[in-house]
Amino acid sequence: MQLPLVTTRWLDANLNAAELVLIDVSMRKIVGKEAIVYPTPLFIPGSKRLDLETTLCDVNSSQANAFPTEAQFTGAAQRLGINSDSIVVLYDNQGTYAAPRAWWIFQAMGVKNAFVLDGGLAQWLSEKRAVVATLAGPAAAAGDIQGALQAGLVCNSDYIFAHLASGQLAILDARSHERFLGLKPEPRAGVRSGHIPYSLNLPFAEVLDGHCFKNPEQLAQIFSKLIGSKTQPLVFSCGSGITACIILLAAVMAGYQNVTLYDGSWADWGSNATLPVA
């Protein structure tokens, strides 16, 4: 897997590249951090929009923020003009929040040339780079990209429960310490407090330095304190599968390759009374 980030400097120098597809994937609902509020819409020039809460979410699922179907993904990506040779750069307006989730969806659907803008719009603005108030127009022609869900990159509660006590998996939870320990109520009704037994806590803010990710060496030190081997299978969880992707991306930067997203995350596990809670 390629290094998943591009820098603001790289993007600024390549904004007019013919193969670039720049996508704003900002979310309306922000959980787990203080939201950055913009009085008026702002976008990096040339941005198109992809909605993670509707367009790239299986709204027919009972699960919060459910992974999109292959057909959903393919249709949305083609409408944006994404081709098999496109370079897709994803960003959000919170610095680092939703873009890693979008990146993992692209990765899981077999689109490997998709990247996250490190620091997103917030970092871009802090460097006083140009912004616009409107999105780019529709693509001149539909793209030819085809999404195909790759095996092993997304899992459900059955998979975790089957391996729970075996020691084969390391489960990392991106929620705050207070939520992980059950000291703070969950924001979703009907979801119990606590965490998946045997899981480890790595709040997503700990892999960030301001709006951006810490460097690979710093991230390797963080993960080495939690995980013994870089070959051990890692499963990432959070509240509903959004911020889990932040620490998943950080793990990839640190050199871990056997990574899986628990898409339902705690909203799924904690609302199922048949599953154990620690």
Q: Are 150 and 180 in contact (CB under 8 A)?
A: no
Residue 221 structure tokens: 């030190």
Q: Which of 155, 212, 238, 245 is catalytic?
A: 238
**Residue 39 Cα to chain centre, angstroms:** 25
Whether 245 is catalytic: no
Residue 267 structure tokens: 């909203």
The sheet carrying 154-155 orders its strands as 154-155, 259-262, 234-237, 170-173, 200-201
Catalytic residue annotation: 238
